[in-house]
Amino acid sequence: SMLEIINGLAGISVGGMGNFFSVPVTDGTTTTNLTIPGFSALFSVNEFKDAVNVLSTPQILTSDNKEAEIVVGENVPFISKRETNTTGTVAASLFNVIERKDVGIMLKLTPQITEGEYVKLDLYQEISSLKQETNVRILTEVGPTTTKRSTKTSVVVRDNQTVVISGLMQEKGEEITTKVPLLGDIPYLGYLFKFKSLNKTKTNLVVFLTPHIIRDSADLAALSERKKADFTRQISDDKSSLIKQIDPDLKVKEP
């Protein structure tokens, strides 16, 4: 899994620039060579491994030069238009026009298989979430607010090798008020019984992509069998919780 990959890098720190190599790229009629610097880099994350959170590990199958899209999240309603009727000084709302938008993790990619073992990936990655809002008036009249981090890029990577896209950083500050019940609400004197603290969190979104070229039906069958074996092993590793939640009488054979 992705968490096992990250934990496997713990305690290792290696980096270096290698030789340049050429990748043939064709547009159907003309073939040109794209020169790319070869490099290798591993990260020392031993001191950060407890702070790693895997958001999602989606897998998607698509054809050459065909865009694929996967969305993991919610379809949230937003107010896009509001019609009102004003009578005197009072405005009465008649109806709201609702528009739904996907909020969560979105991945769009278009692969182009080049000559050899390289894949050119046109990638769009977006992470969005609903911002917490305590003002009920804002929620009812304006609607929810979202935060978004996105990246759009094009990379060339070898078959079965992983490319890392990083730098989607976000810093969030939250003011927390702690007070003694009742005493903290007394005007002026209440400041003696409460205090405020500012909590800042910074997150760095890292995207790992690993393309697998499926050349024939045998490759597809092998990939399907491997994924089924991985799923069976994950279920078997935690029978007491996962399987009993699905079906207490379900029996799964050991892989």
Give dist(CA 204, CA 188) in Å, integer. Answer: 41
Q: Which two tokens stand for residue 168?
A: 């989607």
Q: Kindly report, residue by residue over 81-115, the tens digit of the pLDDT.
A: 777 766 656 556 567 778 888 888 888 989 998 87
Distances (CA, A) of 228 to 135, 169, 235: 47, 35, 11
Contact 250, 235 (CB under 8 A): no
Q: Which two tokens stand for residue 77?
A: 């309603």
Contact 156, 192 (CB under 8 A): no
Give pLDDT, residue 5.
40
3-state secondary structure of 193: helix
Give dist(CA 168, CA 144) in Å, integer. Answer: 23
Q: Identify the burial level of 163 via C-beta atoms within 10 angstroms of its C-beta, where 0-12 means exposed, 13-18 middle and 19 or more buried.
A: middle
Q: Mean pLDDT for the chain?
A: 70
- Mean pLDDT calculated for residue range 10-37: 48
Of 134, 125, 121, the residue nearest 104 (C-alpha): 125
Q: Which two tokens stand for residue 214?
A: 């499926």
Of 226, 178, 203, 188, the residue nearest 127 (C-alpha): 203
Q: Categorize the per-residue pLDDT at 149 as very low, low, confident or very high, splitting at 50, 70 and 90.
A: confident
Q: Could you tell me where the DSSP H helices lie in the chain?
A: 2-8, 136-141, 217-237, 244-246
Give dist(CA 5, CA 14) in Å, integer. Answer: 16
**Tokens 């069976």 belong to which residue?**
232
Say yes or no to pLDDT of 165 above 50.
yes
Contact 159, 117 (CB under 8 A): yes
- Mean pLDDT calculated for residue range 67-76: 86
- Mean pLDDT calculated for residue range 120-136: 81
Number of residues assigned to the chain: 255
Contact 215, 117 (CB under 8 A): no
**Whole-prediction pTM:** 0.55
Of 204, 210, 208, the residue nearest 48 (C-alpha): 204
